[in-house]
Structure 1
Amino acid sequence: MDIPRIFTITESKHRIHNPFTPDKYDTLGRVLRLEPGARVLDLGSGSGEMLCTWARDFGITGTGVDMSRLFSEQAKRRAEELDVAGQVRFLHDNATGYVAEEKVDIAACIGATWIGGGVAGAIELLSKSLVPNGILLIGEPYWRRKPQSEAAIKECHAGALSDFLMLPELLAWFGDLGYDVVEMVLADLEGWDRYEAAKWLTMRRWLEDNPDDDFAQDVRRHLSSEPTRYAAYTREYVGWGVFALMAR
């Protein structure tokens, strides 16, 4: 069980696998008014940066679940590095269908809503682990500007224009699903650059170290095309944020 290899190569040096920066996660923790001992579940936890830094800075406890073997091991090492291994644990597992044994105060799916078949399904799954009046966190893209061609939509890694909503539409949709939006923290262009551009040096170094690997041609194609694609499309059209929701 693992994620596609291209991600474990391009994001192998990432601590955060989305367009957030450490400052954004700190802001998110502060606006959520995290208190020591708060229990957090993170489905699709990646390399564990959110849980680890929140354990260090706010005193939370938590569980992260991710199907990447590499990222799960990185998360465990990060917990040890920050001396919070007694507060957080990380499971290498498929988060699809995962429900916490003990109800949590905050249940999060940050950029991995595919585990529920989309946003609505991810919300339904997370709600099964949540205490009454707990907070759900959903990390999701939205259109900053709508692309005007099918080709541009594809270059934004969307299957169709309807895959993403404009920000006001996304917020309204959460309401339609029966949730109040009680906070949001949005990524900025610096966060997008750090997330995307960091992949390019990682790919170049990987190619230098693995010239005869069967996957080298795929990585070379990505490195040759991604900077231009990102600058022309994702950076121009796609926003991303984490939205805090409470059931009505």
Structure 2
Amino acid sequence: MDLPRIFTIRESSHRIHNPLTGAKLAALGEALHLAPGTRALDLASGSGELLCTWARDHGITGTGVDISTVFTERARARAAELGVAGRVGFVHGDAAGHVADRPVDLAACVGATWIGGGVAGTTELLGRSLRPGGLMLIGEPYWRRTPPDEETAKGCHVDRIADFLPLPDLIGSFQDLGYDVVEMMLADQDSWDRYAAAQWLNLRRWLDLNPDNELAPAVREELTEEPARYARCTREHLGWGIFALMRR
């Protein structure tokens, strides 16, 4: 049970595995007015930056669950680096279906709603761990500009235009599920650039060190095609944000 190796190669230098910068993640933590001792669960926690930095900056505690062995070890190292290993822990496992042993104050899935089969299923899954009145965080793409055709959507690594919604409709979908949207932090084109372009340098450096690896042809193809595809499709059309929700 693990992520495909190409993913960990692509994002080997990333602390945040989505198009949100560290500054934006910190600003979101400030905006939520997190109280010391807030107990959190982060499903698909990646390299643990949300839990680790918020434990350092706001005194939260909690657990992250992620399917990647590489990222889970990196999260544990980050917790030790920031001096918060006693407050946050990271479990290697499948976040799909994971429920906390007791209700938490903050339940998050930032950029991996496939663990619940989409937004609706993931809110239901997180809701099973969340105490009444607690905060839920969902990270999800949306259409900043709706693609003109399905080919452009595929260039954004999206199967169909219908797979994502424009921002007003995404917010409306949370409301339809019975939640108030109480805060949001959106990526912009610059933060998208920092996320995407860092992947290209990771790919190139890996290629230089591993020219004869069996993955080298696939990595070379991605590095050759991805920058122009990103500039043409994702950068122009796809938005991304973290949305804070409270059940009505």
Q: Distance in 1 between matches of 2:229 and 2:35?
A: 41
Q: Distance in 2 between matches of 1:23 and 1:208?
A: 31
Q: Residues 104-159 of structure 1: CA distance to partner in whole angstroms, max 9, x if unpaired?
A: 10100000000000010000000000010101100000001011111101101111
Q: Distance in 1 between matches of 2:218 and 2:166?
A: 33
SS at match of 1:185: strand
What's the offset of the Cα at 1:244?
A: 0.6
Runs (5+) with no aligned partner, structure 2: none
What amino acid is aligned across from residue 210 of structure 2 in structure 1?
Answer: N
What's the offset of the Cα at 1:189?
A: 1.4
Matched with 1:189 is: 189
Matched with 1:78 is: 78
Matched with 1:39 is: 39
Q: Residues 25-56 of structure 1: CA distance to partner in whole angstroms, max 9, x if unpaired?
A: 11111111101000111000000001000000
SS at match of 1:136: strand
Q: Distance in 1 between matches of 2:35 and 2:177?
A: 28
Q: Distance in 2 between matches of 1:2 and 1:247?
A: 33
Q: Residues 68-87 of structure 1: CA distance to partner in whole angstroms, max 9, x if unpaired?
A: 00000000000000010001
Within a 5 Å distance, the mapping from 1:119-198 to structure 2 comes to 119-198=119-198
Q: Percent identity?
A: 63
Q: Distance in 2 between matches of 1:97 and 1:39?
A: 19
What's the offset of the Cα at 1:185?
A: 0.7
Q: Distance in 2 between matches of 1:50 and 1:146?
A: 30
Matched with 2:246 is: 246
Runs (5+) with no aligned partner, structure 1: none
What's the offset of the Cα at 1:4?
A: 1.6
Matched with 1:211 is: 211
What's the offset of the Cα at 1:170?
A: 0.6
Q: Distance in 1 between matches of 2:145 and 2:189?
A: 14
Q: Residues 166-204 of structure 1: CA distance to partner in whole angstroms, max 9, x if unpaired?
A: 000111111111111111111111211111000111101
SS at match of 1:19: coil
SS at match of 1:33: coil
Q: Distance in 1 between matches of 2:169 and 2:118?
A: 16
What's the offset of the Cα at 1:23?
A: 0.8
SS at match of 1:135: strand
Within a 5 Å distance, the mapping from 1:31-110 to structure 2 comes to 31-110=31-110
What amino acid is aligned across from residue 17 of structure 1 in structure 2?
Answer: H
Aligned length: 248
Matched with 1:223 is: 223
Q: Distance in 1 between matches of 2:192 and 2:25?
A: 14
Q: Distance in 1 between matches of 2:218 and 2:158?
A: 20
Runs of 4 or more off by more than 4 Å in structure 1?
Answer: none
TM-score where L is the length of structure 2 = 0.99
What is the RMSD computed on CA atoms of the aligned residues?
0.6
SS at match of 2:64: strand
SS at match of 2:175: helix
Q: Distance in 2 between matches of 1:15 and 1:194?
A: 12
